[in-house]
Amino acid sequence: MQDSKLPLLLIHEVGGTRGVLEAHVPFLKKHFQLITMKEFLESKEYYCAQVQAIYSWWHKPVIDRELLKSLPNLKVISSAGVGTDHLDLKLISGFGVRIANTPHAVHSTTADIGMALLLAAARRLVEGCQIAVSPDTGYFSNNWLGEEVTGATLGIIGMGSIGYKIAQRARAFEMKILYHNRNRRKEDEEQAVGACYCGAIEDLLQQSDFVMLVVNLTPRTYKLIGKKELQLMKPTASLINISRGQVVDQDMLVEALQTGVIKSAAMDVTYPEPLPRDHPLLKLKNVIITPHVGIKTHKTTFMITEDAVSNVLAALNGLPMPSEVFPD
């Protein structure tokens, strides 16, 4: 039973692959009346003036001009996770609608997946698992070797909060840390994790054994890693992407992996997601792909929903939101 005095929050759906988690519904219902896109579209005229907020979970619902035009009292779009590349920020704010994300909830867990992919690529864990469970091969050849993580050089591209948490984790693995970022970190922050700043991305690419992409997707970072950048990397190096698929030129990556320009790649993000089943990346042994699971733990997903709710409640009360996103 929904409390009709509560503000109306529009969600894409509950459950499925892109829906709000069922486990979060009781918590959401303490603060809002929920309606799904399906319910909204079925009774648009009844609901349109009532919707005050949208919870964008896993990039859904699609927020376009048509939807925005149909919601005259919409005040806020609260997006789960840190990336807001699925939202047209200028368009939305042009309708006088505020936007928020949940960066604090996702920093640690996304950094964890970055390290998990780095370790898995270095020690060829997925390939090893496949060999171990295969009824044909049974066991490993003596020459089946991975790369050492301890003492290796990690180049982090994008040293925001997630990048910094990766540096903290990598330090515990005794890695040498290089980083490239639009803004250099303060000296004491660099020293705390032993990170050296590379003003030129080229230097980082040439020196690193592992290159980790942690940038936001923006016009500046679109295809940031292309043929030229891959060729600068060591032939023994691995590329790890926990940012967005479009940050890498995927065709060039396939070529680099097929021809030994770099050793391997491990990615939690691709373009598109999921990749078509016949995509060449899915056929390569030196590739690890996970289906964008960076934030997917019980605790983190709930923290996301808690933060998303705090953002909406603040916006509806005309207060500063804990994490507001602005078009520029």
Give dist(CA 62, CA 10) in Å, integer: 12
Sequence-ordered list of residues with C-beta below 8 angstroms from that of 260, at least 6 positions apart, any chain: 235
Instruction: Decide: is 163 part of the binding site for ligand DGY (CB under 6 A).
Output: no
Token digits for 71?
A: 């919601």
Residue 73 · residue 46 · CB < 8 Å? no
Binding mask 97-126 for ligand DGY (x = CB under 6 A): ---------x--------------------
Question: What's the closest the beta carbon of residue 250 comes to ligand DGY, in angstroms?
Answer: 17
Instruction: Decide: is 303 part of the binding site for ligand DGY (CB under 6 A).
Output: no
- Measured at CB, which residue is nearest to ligand DGY? 81
Angle at which helix 161-172 crosses helix 103-122, to 10 degrees, equals 40
Instruction: Decide: is 294 part of the binding site for ligand DGY (CB under 6 A).
Output: yes
Question: Could you tell me the end-to-end alpha-carbon distance of the chain, in angstroms, rounded to an integer?
Answer: 41
Total residues at the site for ligand DGY (CB under 6 A)? 6
Q: Which is nearer to ligand DGY, 255 or 324 (CB)?
A: 324
Among 10, 71, 74, 82, binds ligand DGY (CB under 6 A): 82
Of 141, 321, 155, give the one whose Cα is nearest residue 241: 155
Give dist(CA 298, CA 293) in Å, integer: 12
Among 83, 155, 158, 160, binds ligand DGY (CB under 6 A): 83
Sequence-ordered list of residues with C-beta below 8 angstroms from that of 313, at least 6 positions apart, any chain: 31
Tell me whether residue 306 is one of the annotated catalytic residues: no
Binding span for ligand DGY by CB under 6 A among 3-11, 78-86, 119-127, 173-181? 78-86
Binding span for ligand DGY by CB under 6 A among 1-9, 75-83, 228-236, 258-266? 75-83
The single residue listed with the structure tokens 């996970």 is 290
Question: What's the closest the beta carbon of residue 103 comes to ligand DGY, in angstroms?
Answer: 8
Tell me whether residue 273 is one of the annotated catalytic residues: yes
Give dist(CA 215, CA 244) in Å, integer: 8
Marked catalytic residue, from 244, 255, 277, 279: 244
The residues annotated as belonging to the active site are 244, 273, 292
Binding site for ligand DGY (CB under 6 A): 81-83, 106, 294-295
